[in-house]
Amino acid sequence: VQLQAFGGGLVQAGGSLKLSCTASGRSFSNYYMGWFRQAPGTEREFVARINRSGGSTGYADSVKGRFTISRDNVKNAVYLQMNGLKPDDTAVYYCAAAVIWTTTAQQYYYWGQGTQVTVSS
């Protein structure tokens, strides 16, 4: 599976962005999908995950209630709607695919190239 993330940009605090991640290759619906982020000088951290059907989701406490993950298995895409953005959300955001239900980055097999999100105060 090849993943490509896009949709990042510069936004003011309180604003919104929607990230998209498209997948090429077969069997996208066989993968659990996740979003991670990494700010300069920090570890890559879990943001959100979604199961194969899209019926179950999970979020980091820091984004719960502000971010929403969704997927479209017909379009081979996963999305991250980000509302109420804060300067602390500034990071490179990555989409990733796993074969198990996990929040651990090392257990995701495939990664997109990342898209920069910058939130100004």
Per-residue pLDDT of the chain (121 residues; tens, 9 = 90+): 899 999 999 999 999 999 999 999 779 999 999 999 999 999 999 999 999 999 999 999 999 999 999 999 999 999 999 999 999 999 999 999 999 999 999 999 999 999 999 999 9
- Whether residue 91 contacts residue 97, with contact meaning beta carbons closer than 8 Å, is answered with no
- Provide the pLDDT for residue 107: 97
DSSP class of residue 121 equals -
Residue 26: per-residue pLDDT: 74
Task: Give the number of other Cβ atoms within 10 Å of residue 77's Cβ.
Answer: 18
For residue 23, what are its two tokens? Answer: 């997948």
CA distance 7 to 114: 10
Cβ pair 82, 49 in contact under 8 A: no
| Residues paired with residue 115 on neighbouring β-strands, in sequence order | 93
What pLDDT does 58 receive? 98
Rounded Cα–Cα distance for residues 30 and 89 (Å) = 29
